[in-house]
A and B are shown apart, each in its own frame.
Chain A
Amino acid sequence: MTKLTNRSYTYYFLLPAGIIYFVFFLLPTIMSFFFSMTWWTLTDWKFIGLENFITFLTEPSLNIGFKNTLIYAIVTCSLKVILGLLLGVFLSQKLKTIGFVRSMVFFPTLLSTIAVGMAFAMMMHPTQGLINTALKIVGITGPDWLGDTTIALLSVALVDVWKGVGMATVIFIAGIMSIPEDYYEALAIDGGNSFHKFWNIIVPLSRPAMNSVIILAFIGGLRSFDLVWAMTKGGPGFSTDLIASIIYKQYQGGFYGLSTAGNVILFIVVSALAFPLYAFLNKKEVDL
């Protein structure tokens, strides 16, 4: 009789995936550590040590990227978690129109980020834009959403939330739907109200879903580039520049070494935050 052994599943099957992954992802990632320490023109390079990193950390137009990227990731992530959870609870009800509403919330996820960014940049126009025109009707003078350096980054983050909250919502719906009915029955017998239902059942028991949303949204926020590029190109000034958009600007300027240093920094920032977060959330999940 033929026995199933490890040899029945040859590692040769990994070769095509492995080669593509290595050549087009892993190799560039490894090489980035070297090239980040060079002055580089693609054909020629000169080793300059940590100079690129020092430039990145001391130049105000470059190191603003750290602060902005962190703010952007935290704002988009927390809003997506909170709104996604509330929408998820709301949309898990058995309403007649639920299919329609769910589709409305989810559809932006499938749209082009650039198209969404351009349309919203228009609606956020300070005098003619749709949003401020609507605010004027109720007597509020809307701010210059994308022109004011203090709020431009938050405006872009809000659009990111608009586009991404549908994804968070469907993950939460999946989590909430998997909670067994027994818990609600037990709560009803004990005389709990809807707040108890939300706080003592839904929030703790949809924890795996929440962890997924946190991880996905946070990493996505840290790596974000295209929405900012479509809406503000990093401006006004450098007030909405993220690490990823600085990488692009340096690349455009022909500073390949500096751009790659930005890449390494983004790599370090993302790993230093995402891996521990991942471990922390997974540990908590076991406790439950």
Chain B
Amino acid sequence: MSETQIAVKAEAPFRTKHTRKRKTVRKLFSEILAIILSLIIFGVPFYFVIVNASKDTKESSLLNMDLPSSFQLVENIQSVMAAQNGMIVRAFFNSMMITGFSIAILILVGAMAGYVLQRRTSKMSPFFNFLILAGLIIPPAIVPTIWVLDGIGLFKTMPGIILVEVALNLPFTILLYKGFMATLPKELDEAALIDGCGRMRLFFSIILPLLKPVSATVIVLTAVGVYNDFVNPLYFFPGAENATLQLTLYNFSSMYNTQWNLLFTNILLISIPPLILFIFFNKKIVAGMTAGAVK
């Protein structure tokens, strides 16, 4: 037993040198493998979309990966912008309004609720927690929601779809705010109240500004979620005037004749906002999504 230990010790310097070399080779290998794999699985689809967005209709109908014989991207963008009397411009306006207002309402309303739910514990707390969990799990009831919206005159209107988006995103938002509130000490509230600060002022001028980091997370997550939402506008915001950006994708595909180049240009155009968001808030997005998920 001890003899083998000694043997191992004697061999050690040689072994570490050897393994270190092997390790660098292996590391290099995994680096190359990672890049190649991610390029094939995730890069090729992007390349495919970009290349085909730059072709004319005839060439793009071949659906191959060849480079375009003439670079048509600018012309295609013009056609996409002009399609259906500039539907995409109206859709852009609608999408931005819906996203912007949803974010603003969610932050205000969600922060207020998260703040009180974290600070105040009572017999009601388990009930509120259950409501949040239910909101995360239960799929929304479609036609009854239309019935409610119709009843209060909000069906097919911008405020209607905004309030539905807010209602569906509230549970997760409140969860995020509740989690972050736990990191703010209660002594803070106490000091403010002793100094004669009212309950309203305590929240709006002291707590809300301190919630900035999690508000940023809410902004990014809601922006991505609501902007990319297809299902809710489809149900609750129908009508030609009410198009959102996701619906413009259906402008160029029909059963018999699809203008692939324009469809791919459209895909490219509506992917720009998330791309910009991703470039600037990469860390924030990932941190926010994982924080919410892991709790």
Contacts and interface: CB of A to CB of B under 8 A. Distances in A.
Interface residues of A, number: 94
Interface string B234-260: 110000000001100100010000001
A29 B140 contact: yes
Interface stretch (B74-82, B83-91, B165-173): B165-173
A212 to B, nearest CB: 4
B51 to A, nearest CB: 11
Given A42-B147, A96-B31, A110-B278, A21 B139 contact: no
Interface stretch (A55-63, A147-155, A167-175, A195-203): A167-175
A256 interface: yes
A15 B9 CA distance: 71
A260 interface: yes
Nearest to A216: B293
A53 interface: no
**A24, A32, A97, A219: most-surrounded residue (chain B CB, <10 A):** A24
B186 interface: yes
B138 A42 contact: no
B41 interface: yes
A27 B148 contact: yes
Contact of B34 (A31, A97, A230): A97
Nearest to B163: A24
B287 to A, nearest CB: 8
Give the secondary structure class of B's interface. Answer: helix
Nearest to B40: A134
A4 B190 contact: yes
Interface stretch (B10-18, B210-218, B263-271): B263-271
Interface string B121-151: 1101000100101011111111111111110
Interface of A: 1-2, 4, 6, 8-11, 13-14, 16-18, 20-21, 23-29, 31-32, 35, 40, 42, 90-91, 93, 95-98, 100-101, 103-115, 118-120, 122-123, 125, 128-130, 133, 162, 167, 170-171, 173-175, 208-209, 212-213, 216, 219, 222-223, 225-226, 229-230, 244, 247-248, 251, 256, 259-260, 263-264, 266-267, 270-271, 274-275, 278
Given A104-B38, A119-B264, 15 more contacts: A8-B119, A14-B128, A90-B34, A113-B228, A118-B253, A118-B263, A123-B48, A128-B62, A162-B41, A170-B290, A213-B293, A216-B293, A223-B139, A263-B143, A267-B138
